[in-house]
Amino acid sequence: MTSHRLVDLLGNPEQYSKVKVKGWVRTFRANRFIALNDGSTIENLQCVVDFEQTAESILKKINTGAAVEIAGELVESMGKGQSVEVLVKSIEILGEADPETYPIQPKKHSFEFLREKAHLRVRTATFSAVMRIRSVLSFAIHQFFQNKGFCYVHTPIITGSDAEGAGEMFRVTVLDPKNPPIDEEEGVDYKKDFFGKETNLTVSGQLEAETYAQGLGNVYTFGPTFRAENSNTTRHLAEFWMIEPEMAFCELEGNMDLAEEFIKYTLNHILEKCEKDLAFLDQRLANEEKTKPQHERSPMGLIEKIKFVVENDFKRISYTEAIDILKNSKPNKKKKFEFLIEEWGTDLQSEHERFLVEKHFNAPVILFDYPAKIKAFYMRMNADQKTVRAMDILFPGIGEIVGGSQREERLDVLEKRIEEMGIDKEELWWYLDLRKFGSTPHSGFGLGFERLVLFATGMGNIRDVIPFPRTPQNASF
């Protein structure tokens, strides 16, 4: 008999009688009741052991964390808490787990503790639910774009260009750090390095995606992205996954429409496909909220929040309107913001974004037309010569989830911006070529996958929605 997955057994129990299951023991109670989980579902399967028929040497090894194979009969359960259970006919211990040293015991562990046991934390209900949702979400992302005829492009991970010009990159080199070759100016001679030049891990696939959009029309990338930013926040990772669509013949409005439709599609998808995991995480969040003081509690539960985003229009306002709202806001007037909004042109801090989203509009917000000074060189200049066609999508509890723009397609304007910002034009010769040959109005955005997973799971820290987080001072596992 091949073994059965718990998700199938528990989904259609009437179709099964004799069953074989393999999984890990979550708990073993009264020398009789095993709560078994195989990772296919949040639900455990109760397996009832007849301890009089089972060797003492086996019973001793049915410990939390042990891997077992069980054959038996699936029957209606008499007990509370489950509708069916397995009457165990035979049990084999496939892998023992020493109760003295196995760290994931059936009690509440803090997420900090579990981060140090990242190789075992997926055996908890919370992390397995998060990782299943992560998987379903990534598939939904491909489905959304594939349904729309977008072409999936694999942009390079090692790059010779710095897309953002921000310089927060991880260098890729094979040179000996103790004894690098030196050039005439006493600097490290990267001509002698593997690629014959300085190279880094990519901070964004955008520039390369743009080149492919200018031949394939609509494209997207979905891959790992690296930023050596020393921001120890609950929303930043040094290695994260980013989804970046890029569309030829598309202006900012089309870009905003696509981003909104995209987010709603993927969230709606998990509402349909991940009901049980979401119900579990909803309850987890509700319990966590109860430990907070009343005024800090979120007025909505997790599923309610996801439905709210799926069912309501995002609010679209310009940066200039946002500044007016913030200037006249209570926290600004009462000097409650850490960074007070005094004049047009300043970058918005997370506290401002949160005010707009969580207090003022109480909905996701798309902010557009930002001052050129605070945005990247490739964003299209508006007729006012002050603002660019940028758009950021801000989410409750998360802040920025999407950053995008209409790209500058006019060669002369782009060259001027590159010069003004002191960027090396030679390095971008291929990017400028796109504006010389068949240039089109085009747009795109980047969505940080883990921020979407954060929102979708109600977790509080981005380190808990990726299997092995990379953050400053931490690259274990």
Q: Which two tokens stand for residue 453?
A: 């997973």
Residue 134 touching ligand ATP (CB under 6 A): no
Q: Which stretch binds ligand ATP (CB under 6 A): 280-288, 297-305, 313-321, 395-403?
A: 395-403
> Which of these, 230, 214, 210, 206, lies nearest to 402 by C-alpha position?
206
Q: Closest Cα partner for 204 from 166, 234, 173?
A: 166
DSSP 357: I
Query: Could you tell me the smallest distance in angstroms from the CB atom of residue 10 to ligand ATP?
Result: 35
* Least distance CB 231 / ligand ATP (angstroms): 7
Nearest-approach distance from CB 259 to ligand ATP, in angstroms: 10
Smallest distance from ligand ATP to CB 353, Å? 9
CB of 91 to ligand ATP, least distance (A): 44
Contact 471, 238 (CB under 8 A): yes
Q: Residue 451, interface with ligand ATP (CB under 6 A)?
A: yes
Count of residues that bind ligand ATP according to CB under 6 A: 18
Give residue 292's identity as a one-letter amino acid code: K
Q: How far apart are CA 127 and CA 110, in angstroms?
A: 12
By C-beta, is 352 or 451 nearer to ligand ATP? 451
Residue from 116, 251, 253, 400 touching ligand ATP (CB under 6 A): that is: 400
Q: Does the protein bind ligand ATP through residue 262 (CB under 6 A)? A: no
Q: How many CB atoms lie within 10 A of CB 76?
A: 10
Q: Rule CB under 6 A: which of 162-181 touch ligand ATP? A: 164
Residue closer to ligand ATP by CB (options 62, 323) is 323
Which of 402, 414, 428, 459 is in the footprint of ligand ATP by CB under 6 A?
402
For the chain, the distance separating the N- and C-terminal CA atoms, rounded to the nearest angstrom, is 36
Round to whole Å and give the CA distance between 241 and 357.
24
Name residue 453's amino acid: V
Nearest to 54 by CA among 95, 88, 78: 88
Q: How far apart are CA 477 and CA 467, in angstroms?
A: 10
- Report the residue from 65, 72, 448, 458 that binds ligand ATP according to the rule CB under 6 A: 448
- C-alpha 138: how far from its chain's center? 9
Quote the least distance from Cβ 187 to ligand ATP, whole Å. Answer: 29
Stretch that binds ligand ATP, among 29-37, 228-236, 308-316, 419-427 (CB under 6 A): 228-236
State yes or no: residue 450 binds ligand ATP (CB under 6 A). Answer: yes
404-423 burial: b if 16+ Cβ within 10 Å, else e: bbbbbbeeeebeebbeeeeb
Q: What is the number of alpha carbons within 13 Å of residue 289 lying toward its C-beta? A: 17
**Interface region with ligand ATP, contact rule CB under 6 A, candidates 57-65, 252-260, 357-365, 397-405:** 397-405
Q: Considering the complex, state which of residue 45 and residue 453 has its C-beta at the smaller distance from ligand ATP.
A: 453
Binding-site ranges for ligand ATP (CB under 6 A)? 164, 227, 229, 235-237, 240, 242, 399-403, 446-448, 450-451
